[in-house]
Amino acid sequence: MFKRIYLVSLAASIALVASLAAQQPAAPAPGAAPAGAVIGVGTYIHLVSDVNNSIPFYSELLGAMPNGRANGPTGPREFAPNEVVSSLYGTPGSLFRGGTIRIAGSEIQGAELSDFQTSDRKRVQPRLQDAGSMTLALVVRDITVAAAALAKNGGSIITPKGQPISSETDLGPGKALLGRDPDGFLIGLEQPNKLPETTAPETSNVIGASLIVTVADLAKATSFYKSALGFDVKPAKPLGPDKDLVALAGLPAAIKSQCATALIPGTAVRVEFLEITGVDRKALGADAHGVGSSVLRLRVKDIDQTVASLKANGATVASANGQPVTFMNGQRMAIVSDANSIFVQTVQAAPPQPVRGQP
């Protein structure tokens, strides 16, 4: 029932990207971190090889239709010119198509799928141990149901024997599984023994989400996110053996890991920064519009100040001309890459529109 795919026109695709970024939560979630330069979160963006292959996978896994629509004209999504979006991703003049699947129970507004028609698309294959890799960790009611969806529509399971393992999840003891989407993006599944409270409907198997970011040097990475974006990063696990990761990802028994965690400012969305040693690893080396790249959208108070802070801490702007782009409604965005080639899309809301009849 989730395999219907909808045509997106040029006007609709422009409106879609702008509206998804512009949406604001009604109120901070319980336990949210204080806002600062960063005031919230948007979508988690995947740069895919063919959005028409990715939509069925995420629709079934997340249990939602693209862009929240239950009805509409069927048909594949078509490429169309969208100069603002292509400039945002550092590939001016290329054609674009995309779609977004909502994530129930999460302030992350969805898995946003972006696809560019251009000859210079670099392709990377994220591995859990490689710096620059990101993992979408989904909390589910039934991991067996989620695992079946993960293995369909071009996805695959990484965990040896394809079965969930007993694990200490972020929410306590439970079960976990690691897999990939059709383009190799990493997806973790967690079913804690005691399910947390959720805003997800009772019909949704997915009830929450967090992110895992793999870095080359934990101390340097956490210092960057503290200094540049105001993340309150806390140590979570010192360097040492990690039997759960060995079992979850099929890594050598000799590996060691360490991690630190933070809530995205203005939200209760958890981000884990993970460093893995004792195994072959490399920098992912993705580019902003290449297949296999991940981009996290963050809402900011002042995009110019935030981009300046990011650059002062060693980041580079991936958007065309090294500058934010402006949408027709006045909303501004820029994509920035940190030292691990982890991409962050900063978004400043459009200025308030005057009330009709008032100056």
Residue range 97-116, pLDDT digits in tens: 999 999 999 999 999 999 99
- Match domain 10-122+287-348 to its CATH number in 3.10.180.10, 3.40.50.720, 3.40.50.1000, 3.30.460.80: 3.10.180.10
Average pLDDT along the chain: 89
> Rounded to whole angstroms, how far apart are CA atoms 235 and 261?
6
User: Strand 343-348 relative to strand 294-300: parallel, antiparallel, unpaired?
Assistant: parallel
Angle at 225 between CA 224 and CA 226, to 5 degrees: 90
**Residue 247 backbone phi and psi in degrees, to 5:** -70, -35
C-alpha Rg value of the chain to the nearest Å: 19
What is the enclosing helix (H) or strand (E) of 237?
strand 234-241
Query: Where in the chain are the domains?
Result: 10-122+287-348, 134-277
Helix (H, G, I), strand (E, B) or coil at 247: helix
The reply to whether 134-277 shares the fold of 10-122+287-348 is yes
Residue range 299-322, pLDDT digits in tens: 999 999 999 999 999 999 999 999
According to CATH, what is the number of the domain 134-277?
3.10.180.10
357 Cβ contact partners less than 8 Å away, ≥ 6 residues apart: none
> Rounded to whole angstroms, how far apart are CA atoms 100 and 77?
12
> Rounded to whole angstroms, how far apart are CA atoms 82 and 79?
9
pLDDT tier at 131 (50, 70, 90 boundaries)?
Answer: very high
Please, are residues 325 and 84 in contact by the beta-carbon 8 Å criterion?
A: yes
User: Strand 111-117 relative to strand 134-140: parallel, antiparallel, unpaired?
Assistant: unpaired
Residue found by looking up tokens 């809301």 in the block: 349
pLDDT tier at 34 (50, 70, 90 boundaries)?
Answer: very high
pLDDT tier at 168 (50, 70, 90 boundaries)?
Answer: confident
pLDDT tier at 339 (50, 70, 90 boundaries)?
Answer: confident
pLDDT at 18 over 80: no
Please, are residues 86 and 40 in contact by the beta-carbon 8 Å criterion?
A: no
